[in-house]
Amino acid sequence: MHERASQGSLWRTPGMPPLLGMTVLGFAGFALLLPTAPLWARHGGADEGGAGLVNAVLLLSTVVFQSMVPWALRAFGWRSVLTAGVLLLGVPSVLFMLTDALPALLAISAVRGAGFGILTVCGSSAVVRLVAQSHRGRAIGIYGLAIAVPQVLFVPTSSLLAEVLDFSVVFALGALPVLAVPFTLRLGARLDRAPAETQASADAGEPATRRVAAVLALAVPMLVLLSITTPGGALTTFAPQLGYTAVVVMLALFAFTVTTAVSRWLAGGLADRYGPARFVVPLLVIGAGGLVLIAWAVAAPAATAVPFVVGMVLVGVAYGALQNLTLVMSFAAVPGRLRDMASAAWNIGFDTGTATGSLVVGFIAAGADFSVGFMTTAALCVLVAVLYAVLLVVRARRG
């Protein structure tokens, strides 16, 4: 059900307004609790590893449910699945008001992860269904803006809101995804009315050999995505715990989220015009450089706030642009009938990396310090950049 659209009219493409409304409200609830829920766990007596578990469980649950979304869409339809997603993400947020005990926080996070898994896979898959391939990079950029705007507003400010007002205010605002139900009903109804041949093609069984080939084709963009979302997850989880004042943390997270939003948006046009492959290695190197700066800064935070903020900006450039580029690469790597599979795989890669960063850097910090954790993620970016450069050389020699 692709709609032909110029760049200026992409915002008004039928189905895009409810998709963007659902995305903004859904990610607002997600962004508000991303740094605040681990801080609430620390309030209840958890150490760095326990605090990291809160977001790790959220995102591991997300990954599990993301793998089920293509089946759920076939079994229950878009309208039911989308509505269930925003309710599962939003309603449990208020339960954080009742306890700061770590086991309860992990259970609530697991339920929210189920809703977030539905929201993420359905959102990126809907973009492909609504917009023609020639405009896909730009459409993904606009969708990325809808994801980024609430993160720009709430990731930097939520922990400050919790400290200045109260944690309960943040937890109440975390229920914002519930307000997206009218959007899910509109968007779901449109997608459920897809032409029969399109739906049949999307739902048709695929030979096992072709599915294996698709999984192998998706492995490269997933590895790139994993390498940059691992530090991204660590930074959004632990920024309030790095020893800086609340104002410095807010400034750093604001710089990170704004840079992420702008670079993800701009990368769409570049991908449509030049292809995504040529930008991967430089972006990974930029991200690694930012992480080295951050690792150096947090080793002596009292005197190094500026390098910390600059490092967050550099990581934000790579983090945002590579989100867009790897999603474009994922959809290009498989036949159109496997687009839901590509969407699920990309979102699984994104959230696995984010959860890994939250979990691994948290436990490294508990045993050593955060500086060692961020240097480890920088090394991962460099390693993947080298592997990707070798792959490009091999492909070039094979013609």
Q: DSSP letter string over 183-243?
A: HHHHHHHHHHT--HHHHHHHHS---HHHHHHHHHHHHHHHHHHHHHHHHHHHHHHHGGGSS
Quick: pLDDT tens for 327-379: 888 877 776 667 767 777 887 888 788 878 877 887 787 777 888 889 999 99
All domains of the chain in start order, with CATH? 7-397 (1.20.1250.20)
Output the six-digit token pair for 383: 């390693």
- Give me the pLDDT at residue 2, please: 47
pLDDT at 138 over 60: yes
- DSSP three-state, residue 131: strand
- DSSP three-state, residue 165: coil
- pLDDT band for 202, please (50, 70, 90 cuts): very low
pLDDT at 6 over 70: no
- Give me the pLDDT at residue 382, please: 95
- pLDDT band for 143, please (50, 70, 90 cuts): confident
- Quick one: DSSP state of residue 312? H
- pLDDT band for 271, please (50, 70, 90 cuts): confident
Give residue for tokens 């410095």.
Answer: 248
**CA-based nearest residue to 314, from 331, 302, 297:** 297
pLDDT at 233 over 90: no
Q: CA 83, 86, 87: angle at the middle one, nearest 5?
A: 85
- Give me the pLDDT at residue 70, please: 81
- pLDDT band for 166, please (50, 70, 90 cuts): confident
- Give me the pLDDT at residue 203, please: 43
> In the predicted model, what is the mean pLDDT of the chain?
82
C-beta atoms surrounding 212 within 10 Å: 11
- pLDDT band for 210, please (50, 70, 90 cuts): low
Q: Which helix (H) or strand (E) holds 103?
A: helix 102-130
